[in-house]
Amino acid sequence: MSHHEHGSTLPENRTLHPLAPLGWNTRTAEAFDALADAHELRPARVTEARRGSVGVAMPEAATADLSPRVRKAAETDRSTSPTSGDWVALRRSGDSWTVEAVLERSGTLVRQGVAKDSHDQVLAANIDGVLICEAADQGPNVGRLERFLSLAWASGAAPVVAVTKSELAGERLPEVIELVEAVTMGPDVYAVSAHTGDGLAELTERLLPGRTWVLLGTSGAGKSSLLNALAGHEVMDTGAIRHDRRGRHTTTHRRLVPMPGGSLFLDIPGVRRIDVPGGEEGVDRTFSDINALVDLCRFRDCSHRNEPGCAVNRAVDEGELDASRLERWFRLRREAEWNRTRNDVRLRTERKREWKKLTRQGRESARHKRGGL
């Protein structure tokens, strides 16, 4: 019996695929079946990316090295390297496993390279939802929320906001929720407390079986505590425990944490301090109010800096749009655009180099062929 016989071709009413608790679905099954040598391979989900190898669940835990082909591809374009949440096809040789292919991804959370020569880094693959945590007792910090929302929208996964530590806000809670809702415009907002259990049931309803979530939120926002509370037992070390150990964030592992309702959380500590807004689409989605106004400007190339007939400036004048929100939109757009253009330049240089190499190889092999005739 192999995994393959459990593929998507089976009738729906058959028993659950053994990988279903890890998020396996029709899409991934089809991508796997499309591999030429699928019958020799086994699908698995990456729980942890290391250098040159990955930790996987299939569903039992294992370690797999990257095949030369996968490794080579990753050298050329680091974003193709198997990362947390990826579905991969493994080949067995004796007691060890090798990653032969990375299946096509759906939602990906990408950290855009920040240094001049740095690459985009895919932090999480195949995510369905992003749970943004913002503590009720500290704000909310609107600018930070906007960054997280932009990043979430850019990932292609839907954001949901958890206002954590709700019991600490006391009677200010409705006001805090209102402030958060004014920023999120759309994504659902849940007030939750890991300590009292308030709001956990409502949030749990959003966490559908087989869906993979990622947590975003500043350090101390209560992400680990929330996961523990949702899971009903300790699945994560919380800040209080980590403080006792030498150095924080020593647990740099990336894990796939199953929730009782069948959803999964990818725990990626590196994501916690992420502060780049993702692409411009993510920013525009977050500022959908401003984006709607842009369409009403008289000039299509309006810069919204005091041009005549600018609907954005008019909204500010009429008190319908917060001037500081407009400034934050300008800033995030600039950042996102700057990141993109820089990446474009880098990609162009890389492709040119790659192309030169290929044509050189091509010429050489042509020469060899001629010589051999």
Ligand X SMILES: Nc1nc2c(ncn2[C@@H]2O[C@H](COP(=O)(O)OP(=O)(O)OP(=O)(O)O)[C@@H](O)[C@H]2O)c(=O)[nH]1
The contact set with ligand X (CB under 6 A) reads: 164-165, 167-168, 193-195, 217, 219-225, 238-240, 272
Is 223 among the annotated ligand-binding positions? Answer: yes
Parallel, antiparallel or unpaired: strands 264-267 and 255-258? antiparallel
Least spacing, CB of residue 178 vs ligand X, in Å: 20
Q: Bridge-partner residues for 163, per DSSP?
A: 134, 191
Whether residue 133 is annotated as binding a ligand: the answer is no
102 makes contact with Zn ion (CB under 5 A) = no
For residues 62 and 50, is the Cβ–Cβ distance under 8 A? no
With respect to ligand X, which residue has the nearer C-beta, 219 or 365? 219
Side-chain half-sphere CA neighbours of 54 within 13 A:
30
- Residue 224 contact among ligand X, Zn ion, none, beta carbon within 5 to 8 Å by kind: ligand X
Sheet holding 189-191, edge to edge: 189-191, 158-164, 129-135, 212-216, 264-267, 255-258
The three-point CA angle 9-10-14 to 5° equals 160
- Residue 101 annotated in ligand binding: no
Q: What is the smallest separation between the CB atom of 275 and ligand X, expressed in angstroms? A: 13
Burial letters 337-349, b for 16+ CB under 10 A, else e: eebeebbeebeee
Residue nearest to ligand X (CB): 239
CB of 224 to ligand X, least distance (A): 3
Using CB under 5 A as the binding rule, whether residue 290 contacts Zn ion is answered as no
| Helix 142-155 / helix 323-372 crossing angle, nearest 10 deg | 30
Residues in 301-340 that interact with Zn ion by CB under 5 A: 302, 304, 310, 312
Given the rule CB under 5 A, which of 15-23, 74-82, 289-297, 314-322 is the region that contacts Zn ion?
Answer: 289-297
CB of 168 to ligand X, least distance (A): 5
Give the burial string for 47-69 (b: 16+ CB within 10 Å, else e): bbbeeebbbbbbeeebebbbbee
Which amino acid would we find at residue 242?
Answer: R
Closest to Zn ion by CB, 4 or 314: 314
Q: What's the min distance (Å) between Cβ of 253 and ligand X?
A: 13
Q: Return binding residues for GTP.
A: 217-225
Chain positions contacting Zn ion, by CB under 5 A: 297, 302, 304, 310, 312
Q: Return binding residues.
A: 217-225, 297, 302, 304, 310
